[in-house]
Structure formats: structure tokens, C-alpha cells
Structure 1
Amino acid sequence: MKADKVLEILRLHIPADAVAYCFDLWKSSPFTLKLTRSRQTKVGDFTSRRTKSHPQITLNHDLNPYLFLTTYIHEVAHLKVYLQFGSRVDPHGEEWKTTFTELLVPLLWENVFPEEILHELRRHMINPKASSFADTALTQAFRKFDKNAHQFAILSDIPEGSIFKLQGRYFKKGKLRRTRVLCRELQSKRDYLVPADAQVSDVQFSLL
């Protein structure tokens, strides 16, 4: 992937004061950086594409700048760990936690993140989780800066039995199972486990 294309993506999607640092990370270990459609189950991922010479990181195109930046660093940490250890270690084990922390700490300043996010992110990085969405307080801080946040509800905030729209389909909310909710898709009558922090729309609240 050409350097100018990577730099263009970074300039468009992350805070200006973080661009040079993130571009240097790419230059030190180049990878394909790809923007994708919005995905409810994940905001980014890293794949080795079978060989260390063709790694790829994908990021949802519609993330706010602060979540885009944090996810970028999260996935670059996966790349760094993979280049050093291959597939011999836990994807979100101690090696990844250490690397993620080392890469993100230089960005934890007021000129990069708003105070609301910075406070929660500094706390989160004491023991980072596999997904920032597993940290409710951090998720709420990030979502304050989503452009269309007012159009959505959080699945965990609506009553059981409510009908909601997700990715063009309608579901009925069921029981919470740890970090996911068992929901029934109305047309197919099939059950799906949906992340509790998923953003949903067109909510029809249950009266039960």
C-alpha cells in the first residue's frame, strides 16, 4: 500500500496531533489499511493474510476520530505482537496488553483526546480489555462524539421485549447473556446474540 494513501486516511480520520505518530507506526511496520462499512460486531480487525509480508488492518469508516485512533493503535498492537511472536501467544494476552499500552501512552494528552475520553482511557489502560466496548464507561465517553448518536439507543438501555432495528432488520430483545443479548429476528424467527452495547434504532418499547 502506498504511503500517501495511508497518510490521506489518517489525516481524514484521526486528530491532527496524532497523524505523524500513527504514520510513523505504519512506516516502521507497513500494512494494508482498509476502510470498511459500519460493522455492529466490531470496529476494526487485524489479519495476517497467511504471511507476515501481507498484514491488513481494517477500520469502520464512520468511527469518530477518537475511537478511530484508539482502534488503529489497538490493531497495530496486534500487528507488532504477531511480527514478534507469530500465532504462539493469546491474541489479547499479556504481550498484546503491554504493546497496546506502550503504543497508546504517548497519545494520552489533552491535545489529542477530549478530557471526557482521556479520563476513562487512562483508567482503561491500567488493564486494557480485548474490546473497548466491554468497558461501559469508556464506550459512553466515545459515543458522546458520534455525529449521529442522538438517532440511536443502546441495546442494554431498552427494556426486554422491545422491538428494534439493527442493520436493516427488526429484532425482539430477549435475555442478557454476559455481554450479549439473545434477540429474535422477527422475519426469520432465528435467534442471534447481539452485543449489549450495540447501537439500535426505530425502537418500539415493550409495555411489560
Structure 2
Amino acid sequence: MNVLPWWVKPLLTTALAGAALYSADQFGYQRAVTLYTAKLSTADADHSRALLRLTEQRLTEQAVTQEAYQRLNEQAHQVSWELLLTKQQLEVTQRQLKQRIPNAVRTDGPRFTGLGPDSLRLYRQLLGYYASGEADLPAADAGHVGKAAAAAGTEAGLSPADLLDHAADYGQWCQQLDAQLSAYIRLHSATEPEVQP
């Protein structure tokens, strides 16, 4: 049997201990690398899933917003179309009413110092005050006016035809504003629930 010298035994023990420590260190290092690689992969996968969910959520929100925008845009176009039709209808109505001005002035005749009953009825129609049966205006009696020729300043003032012509233009403008306001109120009422979160 070979007996090792006394000094080899501690060297051999140290070498074996060093090899064991090195192996343990390498094993621990490999284990740590494997463990942290797995954790990093899990964290990366979680992050990717979170980003995917966030992206899907944003796309869904964008689709909902786009759909709401489309509805609002269609409603705005509808309101614009209604306003255009209303404006055209008002222009036709006002043109027809303006054609009645000479007849109303002629029917009232020179007996009145201002607007006579026919002119006043037409004036109210031109401004958009359509009486239910025109019964709200009593028949005028020219005999209670006095002498129309004695009224001061009738030659310098506006004639009934001029007043009625102005009423036609002003009435059309007022009725267009009323139609716009009504259309915008309807649009706002229709879209109010969509706008609020």
C-alpha cells in the first residue's frame, strides 16, 4: 500500500474541497440562471399579456368612439339637411306671402293711416304668427279712424307695402333662426346620453 506523505493529504483535501465548492458554485450559478431566466420569461409573458389586454381595450374604446362619432356625424348631416329643407320651404312660403302684399294693401285701401286689417293679418303671417282661424283680429271699421286724409305725416312714413315687405324678410330670418335652434336642441337632446361618461 502506498502511503501518501503527510503534506499531500491536506493538499488533496483542499483540492477536493475546492473542486466541491467550484462544482457547488457552478451548480448554484446555473440554478440561479435557470431560476431567473424562468422568472424573466414569466414577467415578460405577463407584460406581453398586459400590453395585449391594454391594446385590445384601447381598440375597443376607439371602435366605440368611432361609432359614436359616426352617429353624431349622421345626426349633424340630418339636421343640416332638415335646416336646408326648412330654409327652402320658408323661402317659398315668404315668396308666396310677398305676392299677397299688393292685394292686401289694395283691399285695405287708403282709408287707414297704417296697416289695415288685411295688411295686419298678412303682417302676422309674414312674421310667423299664424292665427288658428284669423279670428283673433277683429274686423276694422274705417269709420272710427277719423279722416285718413287729415292724419299727419302719412306721406313721409313707410307705406303699408314697405312695412309688409320688411316683415316678410324679417319673418323669414326669425323663422330660420327658430328652426335652427329647434334642430340644435333636438340634436343635443339625442346626443346628450352619449357624451356623458
**TM-score calculated relative to the size of structure 1:** 0.18
Larger radius of gyration: 2
Which structure features the higher share of helix residues? 2
Which structure features the higher share of strand residues? 1
**TM-score calculated relative to the size of structure 2:** 0.19
Q: With a CA cutoff of 8 Å and minimum separation of 6, indicate the structure with the bigger relative contact order.
A: 2
